[in-house]
Amino acid sequence: MIRDEEAQLLTFRLLERDVSSPATDTSTPPLQRSPVAQRRWCLRPLQLLTRREDNGRAVKGLSRDPQGDLLLEGGELVSQEEKERLFKEASEYIRLFYRECGRGGAPDERLAEVRWEIEQRGTYRQTSEELRYGAKVAWRNSTRCIGRLTWESLTVRDLRHLRSAEDILAALIEHIRLATNGGKIRPMITIFAAQPPVATQQAGIRIWNPQLIRYAGYHQADGSIIGDPAHVELTEQLQHLGWRGGKRTPFDLLPIVIQMPGQEPKMVALPNNVVLEVPINHPNYPWFSKLGLKWHALPVISNMCLAIGGLRYTAAPFNGWYMGTEIGARNLGDSQRYNQLPVIAERMGLNTGSDRTMWKDRALVELNIAVLDSFGRKGVTIVDHHTAARQFMQHEQREKQAGRCMYADWGWIVPPLSGSTTPVFHTAYEDRTVMPNFLYQEEAWKSSARPPGCPV
């Protein structure tokens, strides 16, 4: 495993351990992969076909896109029905793109091009502008997100051309650096190559971690857990891959794991100097710092699939900035996470013997004050739930003015603290999934050895 000091010297270094022949931990079963699945992963020989260049010229060329999707051949593998389905979704998005981006002309020419490409290859390539706008609209359509007011400000990194796990891991670390921006958080998404058509039986690129920055959780012999209980399973998976674990503090940074289609997962330790963390202090309670709490500045969700125009970007990590309650009311407060309320209440001298003293509520408020104050003093962007809720109401207004319906998931939008003091509590929302959007996908270590439809 990379030691911290080394990780700081080298920007990053890969752990290339063949998990099918574990060198040290023989108690760990290797990832199962049947010969059938192995064969499915293989790239088939490149094919010559006629394709149209961006300028519309027809040329004979390799079926590998020079900009590079993972596997571009496969048109003959994809059923007509599947092609129709893809074209329908593609054309819905292309029309939205032309409508909203004021492109003047009709989308007909572009639609014809997309149809042709789907016919030939079973998939199509989005232009960089289509991709960029699609990512923003996916954010706009995320019904569980309260922070959508600034959806247009998303910085989109189009890295569909990256081929190797090494390059992708480096790009992920660069994402953290760029988005952290010394504390002035920039909403950002990095998009890697789309998943090839389902019929080719090729999985997409997957990042195993639910977020790029997460803390390990270790089961102890006495049944207790050190670290984040939400990540015990991931921690164990990474240990199966050869990670020796960190120093067993409550805040050990997990390495990032990436899995390219048909390859073994690769792991990289996060260089310490790239992850900005905020120690949590309280403005009025000096004892608070002794709890030793901290949290990372940047929440980068990395396990969701970005769906635009029928294409699936299975690796497209994105971030906004934190709302205080995510850390104060959930990550550090939940009894099944860091469970800090009993400790805080005790330090506050509250009577924890009865629910009716509201010791939980009082401790919760102080913890949330501490989170907001600590981030603020460190110059790290964070929004309180009152401001976020007000901005969300403003977002709804703007969407109405733009002639669009705004959908929302009430249970997620209402903050987990003082809900009824925010305007969103008193508003009814319709929840509907419209595309483009971010979709959940099966945990990568469960689906990685099994392409869709493969009965292994």
Q: Which stretch binds ligand ARG (CB under 6 A): 8-16, 218-226, 316-324, 396-404?
A: 316-324
Under 8 Å between Cβ of 331 and 214: no
Q: Which stretch binds ligand ARG (CB under 6 A): 242-250, 321-329, 408-416, 438-446?
A: 321-329
* Choice between 98 and 215, CB closer to ligand ARG: 215
CA-based angle 283:184:194, to the nearest 5?
A: 130
Q: How far is the CB of 335 from ligand ARG (least distance, A)?
A: 16
* Choice between 126 and 368, CB closer to ligand ARG: 368
Of residues 197, 204, 299, 324, which one binds ligand ARG by CB under 6 A?
299
Under 8 Å between Cβ of 391 and 415: no
Tokens of 159: 């890295």
Q: How far is the CB of 322 from ligand ARG (least distance, A)?
A: 5
Q: Three-state DSSP class for 42?
A: coil
- Asked if residue 143 binds ligand ARG (CB under 6 A), the reply is no
Q: How far apart are CA 154 and CA 178, in angstroms?
A: 13
Q: Comparing C-alpha atoms, which of 251, 220, 221, 215 is closest to residue 235?
A: 215
Residues of span 28-57 touching ligand ARG by CB under 6 A = none
β pairing state of 305-308 and 437-439: antiparallel
- Asked if residue 141 binds ligand ARG (CB under 6 A), the reply is no
Q: Could you check whether the bond before residue 265 is cis, i.e. omega within 30 degrees of 0?
A: no
Angular region, 292: left φ>0, alpha ψ -120 to 50, beta rest: left
* Choice between 72 and 146, CB closer to ligand ARG: 146
Cβ-proximal residues to 10 (8 Å cutoff; 6+ apart), any chain: 2, 271
* Choice between 118 and 254, CB closer to ligand ARG: 254
Tokens of 303: 């396990």
Of residues 90, 159, 212, 323, which one binds ligand ARG by CB under 6 A?
323
Catalytic site residues? 145, 148, 321, 326
* Choice between 123 and 418, CB closer to ligand ARG: 418
- Asked if residue 384 binds ligand ARG (CB under 6 A), the reply is no
CA-based angle 132:198:62, to the nearest 5?
A: 75
Residues of span 158-217 touching ligand ARG by CB under 6 A = 211
What is the total count of residues that contact ligand ARG (CB under 6 A)?
Answer: 11
Of residues 107, 134, 320, 333, which one binds ligand ARG by CB under 6 A?
320
Cβ-proximal residues to 306 (8 Å cutoff; 6+ apart), any chain: 134, 135, 138, 189, 191, 312, 313, 316, 318, 436, 438
Of residues 98, 139, 322, 445, which one binds ligand ARG by CB under 6 A?
322
Q: How far apart are CA 183 and CA 177, in angstroms?
A: 10
* Choice between 114 and 304, CB closer to ligand ARG: 304
Q: How far is the CB of 287 from ligand ARG (least distance, A)?
A: 25
Of residues 331, 368, 381, 448, which one binds ligand ARG by CB under 6 A?
331
Q: How far is the CB of 211 from ligand ARG (least distance, A)?
A: 6
Under 8 Å between Cβ of 338 and 217: no
Under 8 Å between Cβ of 150 and 180: no
**What residues line the site for ligand ARG (CB under 6 A)?**
147, 211, 299, 301, 319-323, 326, 331
